[in-house]
DNA sequence: CTCACAATGTGAATCTTTTCACACTTGAAA
DNA sequence: TTTCAAGTGTGAAAAGATTCACATTGTGAG
């Protein structure tokens, strides 16, 4: 049975916050404290954590270190190797951001087709021509890509990378991709996001 | 009763796609065609459109022009005036993108505190010092802001702008904001997004 | 040692969202 | 005309997500 997207999102968030807490020297945490840091209700947090293999104690809550371990165990601990395609404004900004702050993943390669964007280094990540994608993706075991290419090429590029073994795409181009339905696609359109907030600001 | 966030998101998406279709000269569309362009199922689209004041015909589907009008009517047609706070890499990229491609909203002012970011023009949008926020927000009727400031100041800035009348925030800083609960906050964290896709690439 | 407390773990209830399935509509073709 | 094919509109069922509420538990104060 496929796990719920909503729940996975929340759990990823808990982990992120917990890692920060651990850094800050916190050893224990109650569900209502985690709630304040993540926007999930205490009851929901307890329910989410139910299927982890750690449990909390009424007196001291959850042990931060154990919880991180359990979450890693639940969703996977390996530092994910991802690639980004399209090294324009957005692509560069994301690469810098992700490689500068993520604990759990790294953008290990960038791809573009413009010669001046190829063979550079951005945020510790080398850039290649897209035609080398398959080779490098195989070498590095890349299964996930971030797509920040212009709309008009997004579908083609998506097909190309999935043929090379990619199984999940985070798509920032405002277009609906058509791919085999065992490929996971998440669309993140900033304009829709702002429109949504604007709507709820008024309602 | 507050409308469902999911549904509003889908409807905003339909509108976006319909506007493109109208530009391209399409006059009519069936639910299954809209489905291919938006990722919602035909049944879901029909259900969403039920509460619009247009209806489709079995032979010709929906009239694109009418549908856009009905959606505008349902969620609001005014071109929303929004502001962006924090004109760093991400802030500039978003401003350019939104002002370059959105039909339904415009970023009309940018704010920062660094003197070299103030009193410039980015994508047709003037930048001001944050201390002038209240004045300008009142003048322009700004109710929605995009927050792209560093984490450490995000909570303060959020409090400041909500005191000045802002009712909705699209927050890109990876921190959970604590505000009065009639303020709508949407968090968009790119790292969580990539982690989620990476998870589902493997599962 | 015992009590009171504050928090956990969780079955059940509730609330929300999506899908199903089919009667109904429209227009074109025979 | 009548029939047929392909869509719409929608009540009802199903699936999914969240919240409730409370028995249970571990701890520290008295
Ligand atoms: N700038 C933003 O804030 C922003 C926000 C949301 C979405 N987007 C979307 O993200 C995409 C990129 O935006 P951007 O502002 O970075 O644009 P950009 O033009 O700065 O960058 C696009 C990059 O993709 C490269 N490219 C073009 N064709 C390619 C191909 N076939 N294979 C590989 N690379 C290719 C280009 O060389 C360029 O470097 C666009 O679809 C845009 O609509 C941008
Ligand atoms: N770069 C990315 O792709 C990216 C992606 C996701 C999230 N983020 C987050 O978005 C935020 C901005 O990222 P960035 O890369 O653009 O950083 P940046 O440092 O380039 O930009 C931050 C801007 O905010 C301004 N600022 C600082 N304090 C301010 C204040 N009190 N009021 C108004 N403006 C203020 C700074 O002067 C600067 O211009 C950060 O929280 C970052 O974590 C960035």
- The pLDDT of residue A124 is 87
Residue ending a domain, choose from A74, A95, A125:
A74
CA pair distance B97, B36, nearest whole angstrom: 24
Residue B110 lies in a domain: yes
Please count the other Cβ atoms lying within 10 Å of the Cβ belonging to residue A182: 7
**Across residues B62-77, what is the average pLDDT?**
96
Are B18 and B59 contained in the same domain?
yes
How close is the Cα of B200 to the center of ligand 2, in Å? 29
3 state SS for B81-150: EEEEECCCHHHHHHHHHHHHHCCCEEEEEEEECCHHHCCCEECCEEEEEHHHHHHHHHHHCCCEEEECCC
**Across residues A95-102, what is the average pLDDT?**
95
Are A68 and A98 contained in the same domain?
no
Q: Are A172 and A188 in contact (CB under 8 A)?
A: yes
- Give the closest residue to B45 by CA, choosing from B18, B7, B75, B16: B7
**pLDDT tier, B1 (very low <50, low <70, confident <90, very high otherwise):** confident
**pLDDT tier, A77 (very low <50, low <70, confident <90, very high otherwise):** confident
Q: Do B197 and A170 touch (CB under 8 A)?
A: yes
Mean per-residue pLDDT over chain A, rounded = 96
pLDDT, tens only, A130-179: 999 999 999 999 999 999 999 999 999 999 999 999 999 999 999 999 99
Closest residue of A to B34, CA-based?
A176
The residue whose CA is least distant from atom 37 of ligand 2 is B114
Are A101 and A153 contained in the same domain?
yes
Residues of B in contact with A32 (CB under 8 A): none
> What sections of chain A are H helices per DSSP?
5-23, 31-38, 42-50, 64-75, 89-101, 133-140, 151-163, 190-201
Residue ending a domain, choose from A46, A74, A102:
A74
pLDDT, tens only, B147-186: 999 999 999 999 999 999 999 999 999 999 999 999 999 9
* Mutation for B interface: A164, A173, A201, A203, most B CBs within 10 A: A201
CA pair distance A142, B82, nearest whole angstrom: 38
Are B35 and B104 contained in the same domain?
no
- The pLDDT of residue B140 is 96
pLDDT, tens only, B22-62: 999 999 999 999 999 999 999 999 999 999 999 999 999 99
Q: Cβ contacts of residue A4 below 8 Å, gap of 6+?
A: none
Q: Do A169 and B5 touch (CB under 8 A)?
A: no
Helical (H) or strand (E) element with A106: strand A105-112
Are B104 and B61 contained in the same domain?
no
**Across residues B13-22, what is the average pLDDT?**
97
Q: Which residues of B97-130 are buried (b: 16+ CB within 10 A; e: fewer)?
A: bbbeebebbbbbbbbbeeeebbeeebbebebbeb
Are B40 and B135 contained in the same domain?
no
C-alpha dihedral (B56, A187, B162, B75), degrees to nearest 10: 0
Query: What's the CATH number where B152 sits?
Result: 3.40.50.720
A12, A167, A196: residue with CB nearest B8: A196
Are A99 and A68 contained in the same domain?
no
Here the tokens at position B100 are 């370059």
Residue A36 lies in a domain: yes
Any ligand 1 atom below 6 A from CB of A112: yes
Q: Are A90 and B93 in contact (CB under 8 A)?
A: yes
Are A132 and A110 contained in the same domain?
yes
Query: What's the CATH number where B18 sits?
Result: 1.10.10.10
Residue B203 lies in a domain: no
CA pair distance B138, B124, nearest whole angstrom: 20
Q: Do B94 and A190 touch (CB under 8 A)?
A: yes
Are B90 and B189 contained in the same domain?
yes
**Across residues A121-128, what is the average pLDDT?**
94
Q: Do A105 and B191 touch (CB under 8 A)?
A: yes
C1' of D11 to CA of B159 (Å): 46
How close is the Cα of B119 to the center of ligand 1, in Å? 28
Are B67 and B14 contained in the same domain?
yes
Residue A200 lies in a domain: no
How close is the Cα of A7 to the center of ligand 1, in Å? 31
- Give the closest residue to A81 by CA, choosing from A10, A6, A138, A25: A138
Any ligand 1 atom below 6 A from CB of A117: yes
Is the CB of residue A55 inside 7 Å of nucleic acid strand C? yes
> Does pLDDT of A1 surpass 80?
no
The burial class, CB within 10 Å (0-12 / 13-18 / 19+), for A53 is exposed
Residue A22 lies in a domain: yes
Name the residue range of residue B148's domain. 82-194
Scanning every strand, the nucleotide with its C1' closest to A10's CA turns out to be D17
Q: Do B170 and A194 touch (CB under 8 A)?
A: yes
Residue B199 lies in a domain: no
Closest residue of B to A98, CA-based?
B191
**Across residues A6-23, what is the average pLDDT?**
97
**Across residues A103-131, what is the average pLDDT?**
96
CA pair distance B10, B61, nearest whole angstrom: 19
Closest residue of A to B38, CA-based?
A176
Are B86 and B43 contained in the same domain?
no
Residue ending a domain, choose from A74, A95, A116:
A74
- The pLDDT of residue A79 is 87
CA pair distance B192, B194, nearest whole angstrom: 5
How close is the Cα of A149 to the center of ligand 1, in Å? 4
Q: Are A146 and A154 in contact (CB under 8 A)?
A: no
Please count the other Cβ atoms lying within 10 Å of the Cβ belonging to residue B136: 16
Residue A102 lies in a domain: yes
Query: What is each CA distance from A71 to A13, A53, B74, B189, in whole angstroms?
Result: 10, 9, 42, 19
Residue A202 lies in a domain: no
DSSP assignment of A128-174 equals EEGGGHHHHHHHHT--EEEE-S-HHHHHHHHHHHHHTT--EEEE-SS
Of all protein residues, which has its CA closest to the C1' atom of D18?
Answer: A44
Are A94 and A190 contained in the same domain?
yes
pLDDT, tens only, A109-120: 999 999 999 999
Q: Are A63 and A28 in contact (CB under 8 A)?
A: yes
pLDDT, tens only, B84-129: 999 999 999 999 999 999 989 999 999 999 999 999 998 889 999 9
Residues of B in contact with A188 (CB under 8 A): 188, 190, 193
The number of domains in chain B is 2
Ranges of beta strands (E only) in B34-93 are: 62-63, 80-85
Q: Which chain C nucleotides are covered by protein, judged by CB under 7 A? A: 6-11, 16-21, 24-28
């Amino acid at each position: 049975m496929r796990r719920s997207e909503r729940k996975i999102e929340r759990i990823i968030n808990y982990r992120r916050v917990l890692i920060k807490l651990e850094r800050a020297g916190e050893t224990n945490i109650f569900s209502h404290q985690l709630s304040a840091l993540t926007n999930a209700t205490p009851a929901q947090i307890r329910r989410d954590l139910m299927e982890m293999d750690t449990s909390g104690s009424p007196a001291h809550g959850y042990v931060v270190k154990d919880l991180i371990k359990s979450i890693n165990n639940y969703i996977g601990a390996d530092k994910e190797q991802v690639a980004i395609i399209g090294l324009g404004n957005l692509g560069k900004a994301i690469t810098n951001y992700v490689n500068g702050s993520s604990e759990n993943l790294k953008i290990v390669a960038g791809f573009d087709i413009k010669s001046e964007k190829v063979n550079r280094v951005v945020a510790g990540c080398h850039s290649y021509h897209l035609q080398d994608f398959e080779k490098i993706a195989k070498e590095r075991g890349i299964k996930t890509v971030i797509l920040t290419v212009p709309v008009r090429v997004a579908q083609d590029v998506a097909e190309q990378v999935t043929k090379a073994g990619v199984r999940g795409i985070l798509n920032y181009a405002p277009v609906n991709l058509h791919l085999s339905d065992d490929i996971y696609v998440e669309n993140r359109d900033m304009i829709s996001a702002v429109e949504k907030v604007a709507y709820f600001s008024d309602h």
